[in-house]
Chain A
Amino acid sequence: MSYFSNDAWWWPFFFILIAGWLATDAWRYLGVYLGGRIRDDSEMLVLVRAIATALVAAVIGNLILFPSGELASTPAALRIGAAVAGFAAYHIARKTVIVGIIVAEAILLAGLYAL
């Protein structure tokens, strides 16, 4: 039973409801349940924050090294170079997010139009 295997109008929505909503909100509800049992200043929270951050960081790494869409057809070295330069610019600009993004995008676009 794949997404395109049933012609009924409701089937795509049902597919998304089960594979999308159930598979994500179940984890969120578990988080509320567990979060209600941890004290605000708990040492445990430092660990939880570190794990949550490393997970999101892994998403970042994968989005740069194994991207989707049109970005996938660009050279990996250009993407990494743009990201590193953007991150450096963000630090030089005293942690201004928009500076980091603009520098990375400028380098990426310059590289793409030069190629």
Chain B
Amino acid sequence: MEALDEAREDAAFRWYLRGVRTAYSIPGFILMSSFVGFSALAKAAGVGLWASVFMTGIVWALPAQVVLVGAIIAGNSLAAAVFAVALSSVRLTPMVVAIVPEMRGPRTRPITLYLLSHFVAVTSWVLAMAKLPDVPPARRTAFYFGLGSTLTLSNMVVVGSVYVLADTLPREISAALFMLTPMYFLTSLWGSAREWATNLAMVFGIVLGPIAHVLAPSFDLLIAGFGGGIGAYVIYRLAHRRRTA
């Protein structure tokens, strides 16, 4: 019995390590270069070294961090900053709703899922949605803990080091760094789609996002997300009904 328990723990640790290794992949390195850009942004805004590192670990969502720094630059009150960041982060709810059934094993405790949910952000979400189906259900939380915690800690280190070291990147290189994130999201999100409803939702979202940003800046992501997502789902359903009828 004892030997069996040991073997089980060993397997969990192995899957944790596989999660760690998954963090050091092309998507992981692309995310790190996005945080290079963030570090430069935070420094320019006058956010301190430790505050920038703290923000990276505790918020762990790049768009939300960019919005928060934007609110700091604008001199917004705490209440206004909460509102802006909360609006930019509503998307985390459907992302977590989608990942929980993938991550939940036969005996996963709710508290484990609540703690792991902190690591949900675009990169770990895209990586996990692609890799979790190949992980044994009982090992998925260990795998995701390895992946999520490693991504978070590595990027806290990246933000701190860049803040201290790099003061003057050439203009062109700095611009190119800011382009990495959207290109990575664009290609990897397209590849991780399970059904074409998701691809269609992506097309709608990418077009509606900037339009909504011009028309209703505070609600742009909500409008584009719910409008684009529900629209794509309805078209997908209608097409399927016609085929099966």
Contacts and interface: CB of A to CB of B under 8 A. Distances in A.
A90 to B, nearest CB: 5
Given A16-B51, A46-B197, A56 B101 contact: no
A69 B174 contact: yes
Interface residues on B, range: 35 or more
A71 B189 contact: no
Interface string B46-87: 111011001100111101111010111001111001100110
Q: Does more than half of chain B's interface fall in helix, strand or loop, or is it mixed?
A: helix
A12 B14 CA distance: 39
A16 B55 contact: yes
B51 A35 contact: no
Interface in A49-95: 49-71, 73-74, 79, 82-83, 86-87, 90, 95
B138 to A, nearest CB: 15
B68 A20 contact: yes
B195 interface: yes
Nearest to B89: A24
Contact of A59 (B63, B98, B174, B176): B63
Nearest to A107: B179
B140 to A, nearest CB: 12
Contact of A104 (B183, B203, B222): B183
B24 interface: no
B136 interface: no
Nearest to B122: A56
17 contacts: A3-B75, A20-B59, A20-B65, A27-B93, A32-B96, A49-B195, A52-B229, A53-B198, A54-B208, A61-B207, A61-B209, A64-B179, A65-B210, A68-B37, A101-B180, A105-B180, A112-B175
Interface of A: 1-4, 12-13, 15-32, 34-36, 38-40, 45-71, 73-74, 79, 82-83, 86-87, 90, 95, 97-98, 100-101, 104-105, 108-109, 112-113
